[in-house]
Amino acid sequence: MERDEAPQGAQLISRAAEVLRAIPRGAPDGRRLRDLAVSTGLTEPTVRRILLALIHEQFVVQDAETKLYRLGPLAFELGLASGFHARAVELCRPHLRALTSDTGDTSFLAVRTGTETVCLDRADGLQEIEAKVAGIGERILLGVGTGGVALLSAMQDAEIEEVLSAYAYNQSAVSRDEIRARVATARARGYADISDKPIPGVRGIGVVVPTERGLPTLSLSIVASHERMSEEHLHRILPILRMTAERIGAALDLH
């Protein structure tokens, strides 16, 4: 069967998959039916029918008081069983190391989980960064780190506001308004570019790993000191960063 050919029943499965993808885009405590309909482009009655089927199979749960929907236990069980992150790191590591080798800078691969990004892997560059940067497994709120800005910039405005409504942003080192400004700049430039906050003396650039369907969930970024990350250096390494993101997407069969 050709890749573009839809098998029988594919539309129903595709719609259910879109709903499942849309649920973790919001706040950790869940999303409203209306928001899920906006995110997927489906009508509310259609989304409701899909949710009822997913609830029956334990892919989704609905809070009895708030009526918000979130991923259920079976979704997490399957996620753990799949070992996707371990395989993703294994497939991406050669590309990450090549990126660092070609640029001389420290590079990071991160994945979105709810309102945060988690650093899956990193490759250290030639110049040691004195400030503390993200370690493997470290979580950062979306919009605070470079990769999170890139991922937010790929989302709809309503979804961004839903993410930023999370209580954790009340105590964030980067304000909601600053994050909105970062997203606007990233959209205009086609890549994220942040400096000094949350790490003084450090500048980072980032892009999403492209995917054919749904919102991107992986980001690729490069971090260096201000002295090293000059405008000239940035424009030299940006095409390498973008090309590496494309290669990672192809390696993971995301596009």
| pLDDT single digits (tens) 220-248 | 999 998 889 999 999 999 999 999 999 99
CA distance 206 to 147: 5
Provide the pLDDT confidence category of residue 4 given band limits of 50, 70 and 90. Answer: very low
Domains belonging to the chain, first-starting first, are 10-80 (1.10.10.10), 83-251 (3.30.450.40)
What residue type is assigned to position 55 of the chain?
Answer: I
Between 98 and 24, the more confident residue is 98
Nearest to 74 by CA among 88, 57, 52: 57
74, 57 in Cβ contact below 8 A? yes
| pLDDT single digits (tens) 185-201 | 999 999 999 998 878 88
Between 9 and 38, the more confident residue is 38
Whether the full predicted model's pTM is greater than 0.75, yes or no, is: no
pLDDT in the model for residue 87: 78
Between 167 and 151, the more confident residue is 151
pLDDT in the model for residue 82: 59
